[in-house]
Amino acid sequence: MNMDMKTAKPVYSNKTLGKRIWQYRWIYLLLLPGIVQVAIFAYGPMYGIQLAFRNHNFFDGIWGSPFVGLEHFRRMFSDPMFFRALRNTLTLAFMNLIVGFPVPIILAILINEIRNRKFSRTLQTIFTFPNFLSWIIISGIVFQLFGSAGVINTTVQTFFPNWGNSVLRSGHQFRWMLVFSQIWQSAGWTSIMYLAAITGIDPGLYESATIDGAGRFQRIWYITWPGMRFMALMMLILAAGGLLSGNFDQIFQLHNANVLPQAEILSIYNFRLFRGLMPNYGYITALGLFTGIINGLLLLTANRISAKIRGESVFAANKG
């Protein structure tokens, strides 16, 4: 492929697809293991999506099970437990988005403003470390701090005897604990992406702004933020694409019967159905298919909104 300087558009050679593949055969050979892995583990299991439209019978198999059409979806939309899980999922997602999304951006800006590079790298390591802890370990820390006999809960009840239940037993407090523990675990790691975007900014812009008398906050607002704005938009779109997924590992490790009405998201609800005595695999598959389709539509909608605002979509911008 070469470039026509007048039109600035790629011009492809007249070689057939087969000849081009043969020309770059060694590159395609290197890609082959990854392609096979994706085909087997990502696209292969999609064969089972048809369970969402069948009344699965273990002995008859997938193809032998009777076709029931949209029966599982009709049952889903008439189930009050489904709507409770959907409401909890959306509530926690928006809480994480509104409260948690700006934190890595602010953290990246603060770390970038530290003049002592050694100190800033140390802080970056400290903030990134929780990302490498599993939610089993983090849940143990949370129980030790906020459990009925936890350090923080015991201290609070000492000074405020009428405080009531611990955070882990109060549904609304439990939601905020989920949000802040998620921020603690992931903010440092996510800030690395924003710091990478900041490193792409021309240092000469800061020098020129300083000479012209711009203060620190002015440099941040007019230079740093525009330089990382595209990364923030891309992260926001990706977050929209996982809006209904939720953090299964986090809630599964921390929830209990007292907070289930406020903490049961769709993935937890799906897991409870699967763990039942006689799970309905068709209904469970329909629930998973619904979640995947809505996440995909949200991703495309967020990208379309980005295209309207910026004049180009994030994915189209990445192609160049």
Q: Which residues contact 311 (CB under 8 A, 6 or more apart)?
A: none
> Taking residues 79-104, what's their average pLDDT?
92
What is residue 10's predicted lDDT score, i.e. its pLDDT? Answer: 47
Contact in structure between 53 and 69 (CB atoms under 8 Å): yes
Average of per-residue pLDDT across 205-213: 88
Res. 291: pLDDT tops 80: yes
Highest mean pLDDT out of 1-15, 31-45, 165-179: 31-45
Higher pLDDT, 147 or 205: 205
Number of residues written out for the chain = 320
CB 263 within 8 A of CB 251: yes
Over residues 40-57, the pLDDT tens digits come to 998 888 888 888 898 888
Distance from the Cα of residue 32 to its chain's centroid: 28
What is the SS3 assignment for 178?
A: helix
Assign domain 82-312 to its CATH superfamily.
Answer: MetI-like (1.10.3720.10)
Residue 258 or 318, more confident: 258
Q: What is the mean pLDDT of the segment spanning 225-233?
A: 89
> What local confidence, expressed as pLDDT, does residue 4 receive?
47
The residue-averaged pLDDT of 177-204 equals 92
Higher per-residue confidence, 48 vs 198: 198
Q: What is the pLDDT of residue 312?
A: 59
Is residue 195 very low, low, confident or very high in pLDDT (cuts 50, 70, 90)?
very high
Choose the weakest-confidence range: 5-9, 78-82, 210-214.
5-9
- The tokens describing 48, both together, are 């089972």
SS3 10: strand
Q: Where are the beta strands (DSSP E) in the chain?
A: 2-4, 9-11
Q: Read off the pLDDT of residues 294-307 as tens digits, 9 standing for 90 and up.
A: 988 888 888 888 77
Say what angle helices 225-241 and 102-113 make with each other, to 10 degrees.
150
pLDDT at 65 over 60: yes
The maximal CA–CA distance of the chain, rounded, in angstroms, is 81
Model pLDDT, residue 1: 46
How do the domains of the chain map onto residue ranges? 82-312
CA distances to 65, 116, 186, 243, 261 from 120, rounded to whole Å, are 60, 6, 18, 32, 42
pLDDT at position 5 over 60:
no
DSSP string, 42-82: IIGGGGGGGGGGB--BTTTHHHHSPB-TTHHHHHHTT-HHH
User: What is the SS3 assignment for 11?
Assistant: strand
Classify residue 275 by its DSSP letter: T
d(CA 73, CA 172): 30
pLDDT for 319 beyond 60: no
Helix (H, G, I), strand (E, B) or coil at 165: coil
Q: Give residue for tokens 């440092």.
A: 188
Average pLDDT over residues 51-70: 84
Neighbours of 28 (CB within 10 A): 13
Residues 6+ apart with CB under 8 A from 113: 216, 220
What's the pLDDT at 26? 92
Give the pLDDT of residue 3. 46
What pLDDT was estimated at residue 48? Answer: 84
For residues 120-128, give the mean pLDDT.
Answer: 91
pLDDT of residue 16: 82
User: Which pLDDT score, from 0 to 100, does residue 213 have?
Assistant: 87
